[in-house]
A and B are shown apart, each in its own frame.
Chain A
């Protein structure tokens, strides 16, 4: 048989392509469920760790199940707002996490920004916002949990795609992340965001700043920019919530005053 005959080549190539295509599709379909779970669980795990939960994930046998159950238990509600702070109906907040980059780049009125509401065991309500920005080598992202006053940071987590291990990549370690706990993003009603300052101890006593990673200045700067940009994007919503709190406070104060009379 002549192996260099055109007909032979075409038949050979077609048979090969069909075999490969079938094989790959079968493999992809068989494994895609597991892969999707992995991706979803990773995000749920990140949201949980922003509110200081899910830390036992590596100790339990079935990590997937553990995270899913914890997530269902503590994340009580999620909604989507646009860049003007108005709630957008009929959009799945969790699904948006697949493509945050496009959301933050969209025109203000078309943005769809996810907000997750968590309720801890002691009844504290936390609001988790998502963050997305650019590090040194690639995207960085994360979640920031604000307390009920929409000002104090309860916790934050970061992740990255390709920052240098040991340097920029340290942003995803608890040491860096826990620095944010308890910091505030407003100063006398003015939005300040959180600055990431170079040099160990540079942020001591500053309620709106944390220390940068030594050797990872550019990545740290990326985190700072991300916090500022993303929180500014959420700002209309945050302002609305704060204004509502204020009115509620004033109302309750008046109420107390009336009671005294």
Chain B
């Protein structure tokens, strides 16, 4: 990027930073990053949604801060600086959640802290923010956070609907269906099903985008 080039704030290139991670470059199902901690919060829609927002905020701001700092960071302590910035942001998010949405923060329990080690955040800082200007970095962070959040929400949607018959805590499958012998699939609520759903989503996604198929 040449200095002083006056790109509009939402140029085609910048918009691509936002939309790319939603499908072709999705951090979860294409880059296989950040599955780690957060699948555990996908048994219900509400915590998954809060988690998605928290991760988006942290990714966006850590990208922004690291991009602003990128010229001054001594290379030898780069990783530590990244960890400190990310950890500080996560602590802020955690404190805010505890103060304003205590119920949800209780459900998320240790998983908020584990945003620190979410590979997406580190990965985007390393791969993008350290080499780009603050504004595109910020957009890239939001894009990746949303791409990630989208996956969480899809998984939570399937699990809550089939596992509990509810969405966001409201009953979706009518009582009459239960009377006719319909049963919730409790297996959906157990951790292994989240992995299998991710596998199936990858399957569907790759059969639509054949370039992504390995070998």
Contact between chain A and chain B defined by CB under 8 Å: yes
Binding site for B on A (CB under 8 A): 3-4, 8-9, 12-13, 16-17, 20, 23-24, 27-28, 31, 34-35, 38-39, 42, 161-162, 164-167, 215
Contact B88 A23 (CB under 8 A): yes
Q: Which residues, 9 to 48 on B, are CB-close (under 8 Å) to A?
A: 43-44
Q: With CB as the reference atom, state the residue of chain A lying closest to B102.
A: A38
Which residues of the other chain, B, contact A17 by a CB distance below 8 angstroms?
A: 84
Known: A9-B76, A12-B77, A17-B84. A27 touches B95 (CB 8 A): yes
Interface centre among B73, B74, B96, B163 (most CB of A within 10 A): B74
Contact A164 B77 (CB under 8 A): no
Nearest CB in chain A: distance from B180 CB, A: 19
Binding site for A on B (CB under 8 A): 43-44, 72-77, 80-81, 84-85, 88, 91-92, 95-96, 98-100, 102, 109, 163-164, 184, 186, 189-190
Known interface pairs A13-B80, A35-B98, A162-B109; 17 further A-B residue pairs with C-beta atoms within 8 A, sorted by A's residue number: A4-B74, A4-B76, A8-B74, A9-B77, A12-B73, A12-B74, A13-B77, A16-B84, A17-B84, A20-B84, A23-B92, A24-B88, A24-B92, A165-B163, A166-B164, A166-B189, A167-B190
Q: Majority SS of interface residues in chain A?
A: helix
Q: Count A-B pairs with CB separation below 8 Å.
A: 69
Contact B88 A20 (CB under 8 A): yes
Complex CA gap A2/B72 in Å reads 10
Complex CA gap A9/B73 in Å reads 8
Contact A35 B99 (CB under 8 A): yes
